Amino acid sequence: QVQLVESGGGLVQAGGSLRLSCAASGLTFGYYTMGWFRQAPGLERDFVAAISVSGGNTYYADSVKGRFTISRDNAKNTVYLQMNSLKSEDTAIYYCAAGISCSPGGCRPSIGVRWGQGTQVTVSS
pLDDT, tens digit (0-9, with 9 covering 90-100), for 77-116: 999 999 999 999 999 999 999 999 999 889 999 999 999 9
Beta strands in the chain (DSSP E): 3-7, 10-13, 18-25, 34-39, 46-51, 58-60, 68-73, 78-83, 92-103, 106-115, 119-124
Report which of 83, 98, 94, 22 is spatially closest to residue 53, judged by C-alpha positions: 98
pLDDT, tens digit (0-9, with 9 covering 90-100), for 36-46: 999 999 999 99
What are the CA-CA distances from residue 37 to residues 86, 120, 125 (Å)? 16, 12, 22
- Taking the C-alpha atoms of residue 118 and residue 32, their distance in angstroms, rounded to an integer, is 19
Which residue would you say has higher pLDDT here, 31 or 104?
31
